[in-house]
Amino acid sequence: MLLSVPSYLVPGTWLENLELMMDLGWIEGVELLFFSWDEDAKAILEREREAIAALSGRFAFSLHLPDPLGPGDESLVESTRDFVDSYVAHPPAGETVSGDWAGLLAGWRRRYGDDFLVEYTGASAFALAEAALPGLPLCADTGRILREGGDPGAWIAERQDRVREIHLHGLCGGLDHAAFAGDEAWLLTLVPALSAFPGRVNIEIFGLAGAQAGRRALAAALAGRQGRTS
Protein backbone atom coordinates (compact mmCIF):
# COMPACT_ATOMS: atom_id res chain seq x y z
CA MET A 1 0.00 0.00 0.00
CA LEU A 2 0.94 3.62 -0.44
CA LEU A 3 0.28 5.49 2.80
CA SER A 4 -1.25 8.92 2.28
CA VAL A 5 -2.75 11.81 4.23
CA PRO A 6 -4.95 14.80 3.34
CA SER A 7 -3.28 18.07 2.41
CA TYR A 8 -4.87 19.72 5.45
CA LEU A 9 -3.11 18.67 8.66
CA VAL A 10 -2.55 22.18 10.02
CA PRO A 11 -4.16 25.51 9.10
CA GLY A 12 -2.49 26.80 5.96
CA THR A 13 -2.16 26.38 2.23
CA TRP A 14 -1.33 23.22 0.30
CA LEU A 15 2.36 24.10 0.11
CA GLU A 16 2.58 25.09 3.76
CA ASN A 17 1.21 21.69 4.74
CA LEU A 18 3.54 19.88 2.34
CA GLU A 19 6.54 21.67 3.80
CA LEU A 20 5.47 20.46 7.25
CA MET A 21 5.24 16.87 5.96
CA MET A 22 8.63 16.82 4.27
CA ASP A 23 10.43 15.36 7.30
CA LEU A 24 7.68 12.85 8.13
CA GLY A 25 9.11 9.92 6.23
CA TRP A 26 6.09 7.67 6.75
CA ILE A 27 3.94 9.95 4.57
CA GLU A 28 4.31 8.64 1.02
CA GLY A 29 1.36 10.34 -0.63
CA VAL A 30 -0.84 13.40 -0.19
CA GLU A 31 -4.39 14.00 -1.37
CA LEU A 32 -4.67 17.62 -2.43
CA LEU A 33 -8.05 18.86 -1.23
CA PHE A 34 -9.97 21.07 -3.63
CA PHE A 35 -13.50 21.12 -2.26
CA SER A 36 -14.06 24.23 -4.36
CA TRP A 37 -12.34 25.78 -7.36
CA ASP A 38 -13.09 29.41 -6.77
CA GLU A 39 -11.00 32.51 -7.40
CA ASP A 40 -9.16 32.20 -4.08
CA ALA A 41 -8.19 28.59 -4.78
CA LYS A 42 -7.07 29.49 -8.29
CA ALA A 43 -4.90 32.32 -7.00
CA ILE A 44 -3.24 30.15 -4.35
CA LEU A 45 -2.58 27.30 -6.78
CA GLU A 46 -1.15 29.69 -9.35
CA ARG A 47 1.26 30.95 -6.71
CA GLU A 48 2.19 27.49 -5.36
CA ARG A 49 1.84 25.25 -8.39
CA GLU A 50 5.47 25.00 -9.45
CA ALA A 51 6.67 24.31 -5.92
CA ILE A 52 4.00 21.63 -5.42
CA ALA A 53 4.84 20.00 -8.74
CA ALA A 54 8.51 19.94 -7.76
CA LEU A 55 7.58 17.82 -4.73
CA SER A 56 6.06 15.06 -6.86
CA GLY A 57 9.33 13.17 -6.47
CA ARG A 58 8.79 13.15 -2.71
CA PHE A 59 5.00 12.67 -2.57
CA ALA A 60 2.61 10.72 -4.78
CA PHE A 61 -0.26 13.13 -5.29
CA SER A 62 -3.96 12.44 -5.66
CA LEU A 63 -6.55 15.21 -5.81
CA HIS A 64 -10.04 15.51 -4.37
CA LEU A 65 -12.20 17.26 -6.94
CA PRO A 66 -14.73 19.98 -6.05
CA ASP A 67 -18.24 19.07 -5.02
CA PRO A 68 -20.49 19.72 -6.85
CA LEU A 69 -18.50 19.15 -10.00
CA GLY A 70 -18.89 21.50 -12.95
CA PRO A 71 -17.42 22.10 -16.42
CA GLY A 72 -15.24 24.92 -15.09
CA ASP A 73 -13.39 22.44 -12.90
CA GLU A 74 -11.64 21.00 -15.95
CA SER A 75 -9.08 23.79 -15.67
CA LEU A 76 -8.09 22.31 -12.30
CA VAL A 77 -7.44 18.96 -13.95
CA GLU A 78 -5.47 20.64 -16.73
CA SER A 79 -3.39 22.58 -14.18
CA THR A 80 -2.41 19.50 -12.17
CA ARG A 81 -2.39 16.57 -14.59
CA ASP A 82 1.39 16.50 -14.93
CA PHE A 83 1.95 15.80 -11.23
CA VAL A 84 -1.30 14.24 -9.95
CA ASP A 85 -1.76 10.47 -10.24
CA SER A 86 -5.51 10.19 -9.65
CA TYR A 87 -8.63 12.27 -9.05
CA VAL A 88 -11.43 11.49 -6.59
CA ALA A 89 -14.97 12.67 -7.31
CA HIS A 90 -18.11 12.62 -5.17
CA PRO A 91 -21.24 11.41 -6.95
CA PRO A 92 -24.02 13.99 -6.93
CA ALA A 93 -26.35 13.99 -3.95
CA GLY A 94 -30.01 13.69 -4.85
CA GLU A 95 -32.45 11.39 -6.56
CA THR A 96 -30.74 11.33 -9.96
CA VAL A 97 -27.29 11.49 -11.46
CA SER A 98 -27.36 14.17 -14.11
CA GLY A 99 -26.06 13.56 -17.57
CA ASP A 100 -23.82 16.59 -17.03
CA TRP A 101 -21.92 14.87 -14.19
CA ALA A 102 -21.60 11.57 -16.04
CA GLY A 103 -20.64 13.36 -19.23
CA LEU A 104 -17.95 15.37 -17.49
CA LEU A 105 -16.24 12.32 -16.01
CA ALA A 106 -16.61 10.30 -19.19
CA GLY A 107 -15.09 13.13 -21.22
CA TRP A 108 -12.24 13.66 -18.79
CA ARG A 109 -11.43 9.97 -18.84
CA ARG A 110 -11.16 10.08 -22.61
CA ARG A 111 -8.95 13.17 -22.56
CA TYR A 112 -6.79 12.61 -19.50
CA GLY A 113 -6.83 8.87 -18.79
CA ASP A 114 -8.54 6.31 -16.59
CA ASP A 115 -7.53 7.99 -13.34
CA PHE A 116 -10.88 9.33 -12.10
CA LEU A 117 -12.32 7.52 -9.08
CA VAL A 118 -15.85 7.67 -7.70
CA GLU A 119 -15.90 7.89 -3.92
CA TYR A 120 -18.47 6.04 -1.85
CA THR A 121 -20.47 8.72 -0.04
CA GLY A 122 -23.64 6.73 0.63
CA ALA A 123 -25.60 3.84 -0.79
CA SER A 124 -28.15 5.86 -2.76
CA ALA A 125 -25.67 8.19 -4.42
CA PHE A 126 -23.33 5.30 -5.17
CA ALA A 127 -26.07 3.20 -6.78
CA LEU A 128 -27.05 6.09 -9.04
CA ALA A 129 -23.43 6.74 -10.02
CA GLU A 130 -22.97 3.04 -10.77
CA ALA A 131 -25.98 3.09 -13.04
CA ALA A 132 -24.77 6.19 -14.87
CA LEU A 133 -21.12 5.14 -15.23
CA PRO A 134 -20.77 1.42 -14.45
CA GLY A 135 -17.34 0.01 -13.83
CA LEU A 136 -15.50 3.18 -12.82
CA PRO A 137 -12.52 2.86 -10.47
CA LEU A 138 -13.52 3.39 -6.86
CA CYS A 139 -12.47 5.12 -3.68
CA ALA A 140 -13.81 3.28 -0.61
CA ASP A 141 -14.59 5.47 2.39
CA THR A 142 -14.62 3.52 5.64
CA GLY A 143 -16.31 6.28 7.66
CA ARG A 144 -19.23 6.59 5.25
CA ILE A 145 -19.70 2.83 5.16
CA LEU A 146 -19.63 2.66 8.97
CA ARG A 147 -22.18 5.48 9.27
CA GLU A 148 -24.64 3.30 7.37
CA GLY A 149 -23.93 0.27 9.55
CA GLY A 150 -21.88 -1.45 6.88
CA ASP A 151 -18.70 -3.50 6.98
CA PRO A 152 -15.84 -1.77 5.13
CA GLY A 153 -13.94 -5.03 4.73
CA ALA A 154 -16.87 -6.76 3.06
CA TRP A 155 -17.64 -3.74 0.86
CA ILE A 156 -14.07 -3.61 -0.42
CA ALA A 157 -13.82 -7.38 -0.86
CA GLU A 158 -16.87 -7.33 -3.13
CA ARG A 159 -15.20 -4.73 -5.36
CA GLN A 160 -11.52 -5.46 -4.85
CA ASP A 161 -10.68 -5.33 -8.56
CA ARG A 162 -12.00 -1.76 -8.80
CA VAL A 163 -10.93 -0.15 -5.50
CA ARG A 164 -7.81 1.94 -6.02
CA GLU A 165 -7.97 4.15 -2.96
CA ILE A 166 -9.23 3.72 0.59
CA HIS A 167 -10.11 6.64 2.84
CA LEU A 168 -9.40 5.20 6.27
CA HIS A 169 -11.06 6.80 9.27
CA GLY A 170 -13.29 5.85 12.14
CA LEU A 171 -16.64 6.84 13.57
CA CYS A 172 -17.34 8.58 16.88
CA GLY A 173 -20.73 9.78 18.02
CA GLY A 174 -22.10 9.32 14.54
CA LEU A 175 -19.39 11.52 13.02
CA ASP A 176 -16.75 10.17 10.66
CA HIS A 177 -13.17 11.36 10.08
CA ALA A 178 -12.57 10.21 13.65
CA ALA A 179 -9.46 8.59 15.05
CA PHE A 180 -9.30 4.84 15.50
CA ALA A 181 -7.38 2.78 18.03
CA GLY A 182 -6.34 -0.23 15.95
CA ASP A 183 -8.44 -2.87 17.70
CA GLU A 184 -11.87 -2.02 16.28
CA ALA A 185 -13.71 -5.01 14.86
CA TRP A 186 -14.27 -3.26 11.51
CA LEU A 187 -10.55 -2.49 11.17
CA LEU A 188 -9.46 -6.01 12.09
CA THR A 189 -11.85 -7.35 9.47
CA LEU A 190 -10.35 -4.97 6.94
CA VAL A 191 -6.71 -5.80 7.74
CA PRO A 192 -6.41 -8.80 5.35
CA ALA A 193 -7.44 -6.60 2.45
CA LEU A 194 -5.12 -3.79 3.57
CA SER A 195 -2.18 -6.17 3.88
CA ALA A 196 -2.35 -7.02 0.20
CA PHE A 197 -3.74 -3.72 -1.09
CA PRO A 198 -1.68 -2.30 -3.98
CA GLY A 199 -3.33 1.13 -3.99
CA ARG A 200 -3.44 4.25 -1.86
CA VAL A 201 -4.57 4.20 1.78
CA ASN A 202 -5.38 7.73 2.86
CA ILE A 203 -5.61 8.24 6.61
CA GLU A 204 -8.37 10.83 6.23
CA ILE A 205 -8.12 12.59 9.56
CA PHE A 206 -7.78 16.37 9.38
CA GLY A 207 -5.12 17.10 11.95
CA LEU A 208 -1.46 16.21 12.42
CA ALA A 209 -1.88 14.46 15.78
CA GLY A 210 -4.87 12.48 14.51
CA ALA A 211 -3.06 11.41 11.33
CA GLN A 212 -0.04 10.28 13.34
CA ALA A 213 -2.27 8.36 15.74
CA GLY A 214 -4.02 6.75 12.76
CA ARG A 215 -0.72 5.67 11.32
CA ARG A 216 0.30 4.07 14.64
CA ALA A 217 -3.08 2.34 14.95
CA LEU A 218 -2.87 0.99 11.42
CA ALA A 219 0.68 -0.26 12.01
CA ALA A 220 -0.46 -2.00 15.20
CA ALA A 221 -3.39 -3.67 13.44
CA LEU A 222 -1.16 -4.88 10.60
CA ALA A 223 1.49 -6.11 13.05
CA GLY A 224 -1.19 -8.01 14.96
CA ARG A 225 -2.17 -9.84 11.79
CA GLN A 226 1.43 -10.75 11.08
CA GLY A 227 1.74 -12.07 14.62
CA ARG A 228 -1.35 -14.23 14.20
CA THR A 229 -0.18 -15.71 10.89
CA SER A 230 3.48 -16.29 11.78
Q: What is the mean pLDDT of residues 2-28?
A: 98
Provide the percentage of residues in the chain whose pLDDT is more than 70. Answer: 95
3 state DSSP class of 20:
helix
Give helix 208-229 / helix 185-195 axis angle, nearest 10°.
Answer: 70
Domain boundaries, the chain: 2-229
Q: Which segments within the chain are labelled E, that is strand? A: 2-6, 29-33, 60-64, 84-89, 116-119, 138-141, 163-168, 170-172, 175-178, 200-203
User: Tell me, what DSSP letter sits at residue 202?
Assistant: E
Q: What is the mean pLDDT of residues 114-131?
A: 95
Q: Please check the confidence at residue 95 and state whether its pLDDT lies above 70.
A: no
pLDDT per position as a tens digit, 209-230: 999 999 999 999 999 854 444 3
Superfamily of domain 2-229: Divalent-metal-dependent TIM barrel enzymes (3.20.20.150)
Q: Please check the confidence at residue 137 and state whether its pLDDT lies above 70.
A: yes
Can you give the pLDDT at residue 227? 45
Please give the residue that has the higher pLDDT: either 117 or 173: 117
Strand 175-178 versus strand 200-203 pairing type: unpaired
